[in-house]
Amino acid sequence: MERSTRHNMQEVVEQGMFVKHCKVEVYLTELKLCEDSNMENVVTRRFSKADTIDAIEKEMRKLFSIPEEKETRLWNKYMSNTFEPLNKPDSTIQDAGLYQGQVLVIEQKNEDGTWPRGSSTPKSSGASNLSALPKISPSSLTNNHNSSYNNRNVKNSSYSLPSYPPYNSYDYSDHARHSEKPGLCGLSNLGNTCFMNSATQCLSNIPPLTEYFLKDKYTDELNEDNPLGMKGEIAKAYAELTKQLWSGKYSYVTPRAFKTQVGRFAPQFSGYQQQDSHELLAFLLDGLHEDLNRIRKKPYIQLKDADGRPDKVVAEEAWENHIKRNDSIIVDIFHGLFKSTLVCPVCAKISVTFDPFCYLTLPLPMKKERTLEVYLVRLDPLAKTTQYKLTVPKVGYISDLCTSLSTLSGVPAEKMIVTDIYNHRFHRIFATNENLSSIMERDDIYVFEVAVNRMEDTEHVVIPVHLREKYKQSGYNHTSTPLFGQPFLITVPRTLSEDKLYNLLLLSLCRHLRCPVEEEESEETVPTKQHTINGNATNGILEEGSPSEMETDEQDDESSQDQELPSECDNSQSEDSVVGDNELENGVGQENSTKGPPPLAGHKKRLFTFQFNNMGKTDFSFIKEESRQIRFDEGHLRLSDRSYLSLDWEPETKKKYFDETVTEDFDKHESMEYKPQKKAFFKLNDCIELFTTKEKLGAEDPWYCPNCKQHQQATKKLDLWSLPPVLVVHLKRFSYSRYMRDKLDSLVDFPIRDLDMSEFLINPNAGPCRYDLIAVSNHYGGMGGGHYTAYAKNKDDDKWYYFDDSSVSPASEDQIVSKAAYVLFYQRQDTVKGTGYFALDREDHEEQRSSSAQGGATQSEEEEEEEEEEEEDLNDNENEEGEEEPEPNHDVTMNTN
């Protein structure tokens, strides 16, 4: 009871090792608990992330009625055939990396002192339990495959680590326990962890870094006291994983412990959501650097501006200052230096600094223009909607869209309103100063021609109109009344009668209304209607005192025809039949005259009723009850998709008079035939050139000018000064904005050999700068998902391989350059193995020389001994010749023996 009561309380849980994130734990973690002897019986319990493994084990002992004297141990079952020991009782659920729905198994010790899942010592060859494998740890990995083991059905067997190795040990699949080439080892996907597998495989195939860890050089440089580091844990975890990948014993391993350690120090990677391989790579490089930083106490260094000093002097000073605080194998391999030049647009102050970098993030050359398909809705209610294909700036405004459309259509740009229609409603109504980036490719953009310039005319208001269908049973429901048709915008005077508004709405809808009479009668009416609409009511606005106002008692043929729009089929109606007393004309029901009087005979009824809605609520503030006059206040001048007029139709009326097919009937402008030329690909050099091009800082990212004493939109230029032995190139394929996230799938053509960076270096004494490709991290798919893989060149056989999670396969060079390439890894040609550039390489060379020298000395000693033996043999032969002469064949035989 105490436990359940405590779990009803919300706890504050800390996340992260050094950067603490305190969160209130609203939902507890649900774990599935079972016994090793009966895994079918699963019991679900909820725990806090702050609960320890020991607390869970106690709960399980109580749950399964295990006596106190019984020794137990806990296992984490996270794959059908893989178990991990939970051997740190004081670890919390969060530290152990347990997640929602995790299966935990409790195991009881047998009466004879053995464990059902095996002990720390190997069993005999006749053992039948596959969990009885040798202890797996970095120092005792073996391949004891006896005949009994090989005959087992490994695939369908349960596998576990037989003892309690260190927490950061790894798990290996049984069917992978055969010899493999070092480095050709896959990584299991733990659930959306392909991003981690891709980045890790690329790092694993960087020869100088891998040699550093395989030869345990990292142990002498672990900096566990660095406040900016991870207490050496990331370096240890990565070292252990690297050793397993290069052990040559497994076709794949499960990097669960490595992921757990990464999640401890970087909470963004702790879950099982898809992440970015480059972001993980950046974290790993920074984490390994701080864990292996040779500088134990970082000195404070005052940064200086160039102040006109020569670049060479400033660059050397910057690098020396960098090395005083940052000195590690990561700096040795990955760090370079670039020059940053900022110029103030006001006072022309020039600021020059030299900054280190660990990787280059290169922008992709993008077209400065984009095409958008939009629909233009004319002011003339009888004109068909027309679809246009516009060319607009990629970084532009809604006003640019209106200008482009005006050029093609002839409609003044200032009389356009741009909207996004979705699901029969206005999803958005754009202001002219909004960014075009807020419009996505899949949006249905409708541009409405309006009668007035809203910026200049304050005597009229533009009202959004939605069409709704009432329910038969009980009127309509405000929240679920179904919308239909296409919404539209209507321009009206700020003061008008209710009848005038209804008439204007009919004018706007006339193209969508049909007459339920004989076809020939309709055909006779159409020309008259066309003439009328294009005559008196072309501006779509009811003006006081105009003939179209329909409040005159004069009988005018043209005027009366103008009012026949609701039925579109009766020329003989009077003007009063349209606007009088909320009624519809008598002639609507003429089709039913032969079958008796129509349902509406004797009274008149409108096609629809209307309601104003403001922020989702019915708004009656504009209607003055005494006169049924409508007056719009200042608030209605602000056009918004949240404030609109709803036209509510009875289902029978809608079915009878409203033609929904008209909405889908539109014309295509000749611009729709235009197909923009797409560039087949870009070269990597194009990206580097763009990276080094001068640019103006954005308004959201200004520079503080020390002269002006304020932030300015300065111009900025980056130049490369020195390059590292291994150059990491991040292609910026993902773009983010407030409204849009997008991925650029352009093909970047990058060289596999002889990437010459000399033309981009401004340092005349930079030295060798030719690079060969050694690894690529790939991303397939779109934003927020997709799949990561890697290509890498094995350092031992110089062949390319494709790493796709647990699968590793040979690859050819012509596969490597693709649209999926995301992060590229290049090694400088003068730093490869055998050149002696790195200390480890020189040590290997010295060892080889000394071993060859020792081998040569041994060989010469053996040769001398052989010569001495031959001389002795010759002397013996001469002595024997002085005595009795033996048989020649016998002497030869003795000598040869």
489 vs 487: CA distance, rounded Å:
7
- What's the Cα-to-Cα distance from 547 to each of 496, 554, 579, rounded to whole Å? 15, 10, 14
Q: Find out whether 794 and 204 touch, Cβ atoms under 8 Å.
A: no
Whether 787 is a known active-site residue: answer yes
Annotation marks residue 322 as catalytic: no
CB-count exposure of residue 815 (10 Å: 0-12, 13-18, 19+) = exposed
C-alpha dihedral (195, 201, 203, 207), degrees to nearest 10 = -170
* pLDDT confidence of residue 9: 53
Residues 6+ apart with CB under 8 A from 271: 99, 263
Catalytically annotated residue among 194, 402, 687, 705 = 194
**First-to-last C-alpha distance (Å) of the chain:** 91
Mapped onto helix, strand or coil, the DSSP state of residue 59 is helix
Q: Quote the pLDDT of residue 303.
A: 79
Residues 6 or more apart whose CB falls under 8 angstroms from that of 630 comprise 495, 496, 497, 498, 501, 622, 623, 624
CB atoms under 10 Å from CB of 625, counted, come to 7
Which pLDDT value is given to residue 3? 43
Q: Which residues of the chain have pLDDT under 70?
A: 1-25, 78-82, 119-179, 472-481, 515-604, 615-627, 634-637, 676-680, 736-742, 783-784, 845, 851-897
Give me the pLDDT at residue 312, please: 92
For 711, the enclosing helix (H) or strand (E) is strand 710-712
The tokens describing 810, both together, are 């040979």
Active site residue: 7, 175, 424, 787, which one?
A: 787
pLDDT of residue 6: 45
